Every structure is written in structure tokens, then in C-alpha cells.
Amino acid sequence: MSKLKGSKVRVPIVLVNFKTYAEGTGKNALDLAKFCEKVSLETDTCVAVAPQFVDIVPIAEAVSIPVFSQHIDPVMYGSFTGCVLPEAVKAAGAVGTLINHSERRLKLAGIDAAIKRAREANLASLVCSNNAAVSAAVAALKPDMIAIEPPELIGTGIPVSKAKPEVVSGTVEWVKRVNSDVTVLCGAGISQGEDVAAALRLGTRGVLVASGIVKSKDPYRVLLEFTGALSEFRS
């Protein structure tokens, strides 16, 4: 596994977005994070978690795997009541952050500013995009990672790597052309180990997953499948 700019975020990676699922809130979120850590340690792969804001502190205190925020606002220390300050997220124990998730889209200038603020706060930035052209656009803004997630597939169980492989490979190609330093992940509809393998074969360095793990009846088995696929593509 290679490390991302010296942080404890390594690729290939499985990043689990807890959303606002009941199974990913409060006490459940803590249990789920501990479980992800267990699989990560057992399989020697990188499994990271993105819990809700309020759950970052207790989770970051309890586990050694990377913790991401689900969002940051491009704000500074000051008068921004109700906003998510990058420095506060960092102080809470997060090492990275999602930006522009399809459920929390930002304006273009805001994405640019959020990536810069993440860098200043020493947070790895993972920007979500909805197609290959938008991914290329994001790449020009120099985030650490991009996750390609066609919104129409999110939560469907239909993996983009199967339903629209050309969107994934197109993203990998376009992003490389614009900025080859950017790591591409694959999201939307990932629910089986073979979906992860397909995503990696298409040139991505991991997956962003939510319901596939968080709402699974047997998350242990599914996460083992996922990390098993990672192991084959270790670099």
C-alpha cells in the first residue's frame, strides 16, 4: 500500500460513508467504526470511515483507522455559526474530508476554496463528482482524491463499475490527463467484492461505499469481500 502524502490514508482503500443512517449514528456509529478497524487490522488493508460531525470525536478517540468528515465549509476561524470549520474537524481527530458529496453539493468556487482550506488544515480532500467531465474539472482544482459517483446509481446496489464502466474508465483517463497526482475512487452501488475488484481493474484505487456496508445484514462478510479485493490490487 502507498501512503497519501504522508498521512495514514493509504491506497487501495475502502472508505465507508455512514451518512445519517440510524445504523451509523451515535452508539451504532462507534460500534461500526470499531468493526471496520477490526477488519482493517485483520486483513492489513486500509478501511476508513466517514461518520457524522458529532461522532468524529468519540470515534477518532476509539479507533486507529482514518476518520473522514462528511463535509467541510470553506470558512475560516470567525463568525460562521452552524458551519463546519476545517480546523475544528482536524482538532476533532479527522484526517480527511469528503467535499461536494451528491447529497451536499457545493458551488464551484466553494469546492476550490474547500480544497484549499482542507490543505491548510492538513486534511486529505476527497471530492465527489457525478461524471467524467466534472471529474476532470475537479482534478484541475488539485484535490488529493476524487470519487466518481453517478447520482442515479447511489443506493441502488447497481455498481457503476458494471452499469457504466465507461464512466469510471473515462474518469480515470480524463483525471490523469488534467492532473496525474489525483487518486480516483469509485462510488455508487458497490455491494459485493467483485464490484470492488471491477472498480480497481478499471484503474481506480478504491471505493467509497455506504449502504453496501452500513445497511448490510452481514457487514463482516461484505467488508471481508471488499478488503479481499483490495489485497489483490495492493501496490
Q: Which amino acid is at 75?
A: V
- Nearest-approach distance from CB 109 to a copy of itself, in angstroms: 5
Binding mask 141-160 for a copy of itself (x = CB under 8 A): xx-----------xx-----
Rounded CA gap, 141 and 127, in Å?
10
Active-site entry in 101, 103, 166, 194: 101
71 is catalytic: no
Nearby residues of 131 by Cβ (< 8 Å), 6 or more positions away = 148, 150, 167, 171
Q: Which of 195, 6, 230 is nearest to 96 (CA)?
A: 6
Q: How far is CA 74 from CA 3, 114, 117, 124, 125, in A?
A: 26, 4, 6, 14, 12
The smaller minimum CB distance to a copy of itself, of residues 123 and 200, is found at 123
| Residue 46: Cβ within 10 Å count | 23
Query: Which residue of 38, 178, 233, 234 would you call a contact of a copy of itself, by CB under 8 A?
Result: 178
Binding mask 179-208 for a copy of itself (x = CB under 8 A): ------------------------------
Stretch that binds a copy of itself, among 7-15, 92-100, 163-171, 226-234 (CB under 8 A): 92-100
Q: Which residues are catalytic?
A: 101, 149
